[in-house]
Structure 1
Amino acid sequence: EDQTVKHLLAGKILKTTGDVAHGTQVMQWLEENWFADDAYLKLEGRPVMLVFGPQHFTKGQWLQMASRLRKRPRLYALPHLSQEAGADGAFGWPPVHGGKEIVPAVWRGYLNSLYSRGERGESIIATVFPKFHDIYRQAGLHDSYGSLDDQDGKTFTQTLEFAWRSNSRLIQIATWNDYGEGTTIEPTATHGYRYLETLQKRRKTQSGKAFPFVPDDLRLPIMLYELRKQRAGEKAVTEKLNRASGLLFSSKCAAARTLLTQCRTEGGK
């Protein structure tokens, strides 16, 4: 979020004329530490960069800050700011505003409008969200942006289907764990694995037998975490848990489950 630069200027941490130099330095750091990583998302050979705004830098400043990079990133901005910023495309977000409750007809209209821009040739990152319910008013920060109901999980399912049917090459989940805005899809005591299972089911529908994962696989990381706490300090168990962790990172869930089950039922012996 380039709005942080505004705060650095207001706090006199940056000089008034130092914003572009600071931005250039940050972009160079990103290129060296993130963009060069094989795991970093790239589209047509260029790193993808999403900016929530922009809220400070202008079109010319973005070009200036990227001018020294080996590959200029593909800049995506919010839909109402992307053209003004000279961005390569736009990404969607839960369309809350004015402290209002956003009903399904409103957010469907927002998504239809966004994806129609993609049909006209604009590069659009589709968005999927479960709900929106922020805590800003309760926390005394400022008024709430508004709310968007989860419809007992239907909002996530429906926005996922909208995104899947769009011609967008990329889909963003908004978000993984922003508890402050209530857009969380990671497992919780309230909703369990509902959202991850919905995603997994959609992937399997697309890939068929080529998709090897099952709902129980989603529970293996927490199983590993709990065993690390329960058996902390036990060398033999820790070695098995480290091996199980490596298997999970390699997507070898069946083998990881076997090791974790051994650690739970046999104490790692």
Structure 2
Amino acid sequence: MIKNKILASVGIVLALLGCGGDDNSAYVPVVNPPAETFTPVPVQKTNGMKIYMHYMTWFETNQSSDNGQWGYHWTMANRNPNNVDPNGRRDIASHYYPLIGPYHSGDRDVIENHLLLMKYAGVDGLLIDWYGTYNVNDYRMIKENAEQLIALLDDVGLEYAIVYEDRFLQNIVNAGQAPTVTGAAKNDMAYLQSNCFNDANYIHINNQPLLLNFGPITLQTPAEWTSVFSNLNPKPTFLTLWNESGEAGANAAGEYAWVYQNNTHLANFYNNNIAALDVAFGSAYPGFNDFYAQGGGGSWLGWTIDHNNGATLDETLTMTQNAGLDYVQLITWNDFGEGTMLEPTVEFGYNYVEKIRTFAGVQVGNVFTDIGRLYTLRKQHQANAAVQAKLDKAFGYFVSMQPDLAVQTLNEI
């Protein structure tokens, strides 16, 4: 991706120079000091494990959508975010409420806020949930929002990889946009190879681009995956959900853990699966509490994992550390519908990003509330170019690991 450097404004000032009272005095252009350029600097941390965050780009508001309606992931079947309670909270399809309020995933201010919070929590990169390239249902919107996210990742200094959802491939065929499910998937892979796999900040493992699959669900034979990857060079380091790699055969390099029922399943994965896998990703999560039944979005899954005031996250992080893995996937940044969000909320504040920061051993001070203040000022002064320029500078200080200067800049506004 093209790096969008953040530059301080450069002006040329005309100064009147010469001897006092001299009629021959002249205007001479004086150039201000060179523009200040901010290059992202990695967060220093003591935990050598690679920490990746599972991320959703599927949120739309009534301001961002083409039809003026809130997206499904804020409404499900029966919620109306246009209804606001006395506390100022919109009626959304979740038991929990984002600290910055419900948002559009393609909003640059939102993306900036999320990425800075993750950076200062010690997160190395994002694993982006992705539905492919076709214009069916909300898949195109998810793709476009992901592109907005990816465009800013390099400026912040974070990596990324794709988590491919093959479950909806039959919808592409049914819509007449591809002849077969494997054909649709091959087109999606061609897009990733052309637009993502060669990015400098795309995650590579064993010199191959990392690709996760949430399944397999539709493509359930090794022959299908061999066909899907046939035009890729190099082939990806391909990970399936736990216990599913057999469906991809030799195409799979390993598996990743997820969240299910209770922590016993995570312990079983560590004890029984990882020894046989070339690549294994552990998981850590704060809890699980879906809104499907209340939101009319489907049946309740029949189980919950209590957040326990952060104890569940502590336990699953410790389990992953003790398993001796090189990689952990945090589940999730913002799946509000399933209640697995690590994003700051009204209910939990910044508690979860603070716990991740401790786990990572981040060696800089806690500036989460200041990052939140940057977002608030962005929205309060949307039409003020001078203030936005100052906020751009604060962003530059944050990404270049100069948080004291970032806070100083915010205090000037």
Moved more, 137-146 or 114-123: 114-123
Q: Aligned to 1:139, which of 292, 295, 314?
A: 295
1:50 aligns to 2:235 (yes or no): no
User: Do the aligned residues in 2 keep the contact of 1:127 with 1:159 (CA within 8 Å)?
Assistant: yes
Q: Distance in 1 between matches of 2:341 and 2:202?
A: 22
1:121 Cα shift? 4.6
- What amino acid is the match of 1:240? K
Corresponding residue of 1:20: 182
- What amino acid is the match of 1:177? N
Q: Distance in 2 between matches of 1:247 and 1:147?
A: 41
1:199 Cα shift? 0.7
1:161 Cα shift? 0.8
- What amino acid is the match of 2:332? T
1:92 aligns to 2:257 (yes or no): yes
Q: Distance in 2 between matches of 1:76 and 1:230?
A: 43
Q: Distance in 2 between matches of 1:23 and 1:40?
A: 20
Q: Distance in 2 between matches of 1:148 and 1:22?
A: 36
1:233 Cα shift? 2.9
Aligned residues: 244
Deviations 1:112-145 (A, max 9, x none): 2111222345421000011111111122232122
User: Do the aligned residues in 2 keep the contact of 1:59 with 1:84 (CA within 8 Å)?
Assistant: yes
Q: Which has the higher helix share?
A: 1
Corresponding residue of 1:3: 167
Corresponding residue of 1:241: 391
Matched ranges for 1:127-166 at <5 A:
127-145=283-301, 146-166=303-323
- What amino acid is the match of 1:202? F
Q: Distance in 1 between matches of 2:193 and 2:178?
A: 22
Instruction: Point out where structure 2 has 5 or more consecutive residues left out of the alignment.
Output: 1-164
> TM-score if structure 2 supplies the norm length?
0.56
User: Do the aligned residues in 1 keep the contact of 2:254 with 2:277 (CA within 8 Å)?
Assistant: no
Instruction: Point out where structure 1 has 5 or more consecutive residues left out of the alignment.
Output: 97-106, 205-210, 264-269
User: Do the aligned residues in 2 keep the contact of 1:115 with 1:124 (CA within 8 Å)?
Assistant: no
User: Do the aligned residues in 2 keep the contact of 1:115 with 1:167 (CA within 8 Å)?
Assistant: no
Q: Distance in 2 between matches of 1:70 and 1:85?
A: 18
Deviations 1:132-187 (A, max 9, x none): 11111122232122211111110001001111121222100010000010000011
Q: Percent identity?
A: 29
Q: Distance in 2 between matches of 1:69 and 1:220?
A: 43
- What amino acid is the match of 1:76? L
- What amino acid is the match of 1:90? E
User: Do the aligned residues in 2 keep the contact of 1:90 with 1:124 (CA within 8 Å)?
Assistant: yes
Q: Distance in 2 between matches of 1:5 and 1:12?
A: 11
- What amino acid is the match of 2:223? G
> TM-score if structure 1 supplies the norm length?
0.85
Corresponding residue of 1:81: 244
Q: Distance in 1 between matches of 2:369 and 2:222?
A: 45
Q: Aligned to 2:269, which of 91, 98, 114?
A: 114
1:225 Cα shift? 1.2
1:201 aligns to 2:358 (yes or no): yes
RCO higher in structure (CA 8 A, sep ≥6) = 2
Corresponding residue of 1:62: 225
Q: 1:33 to 1:20 in 2, by over 3 A?
A: same
User: Do the aligned residues in 1 keep the contact of 2:255 with 2:277 (CA within 8 Å)?
Assistant: no
Q: Distance in 1 between matches of 2:309 and 2:317?
A: 15
Q: Distance in 2 between matches of 1:79 and 1:159?
A: 16
Corresponding residue of 2:370: 220
Q: 1:88 to 1:121 in 2, by over 3 A?
A: closer
Bigger radius of gyration among the two: 2
User: Do the aligned residues in 2 keep the contact of 1:51 with 1:76 (CA within 8 Å)?
Assistant: yes
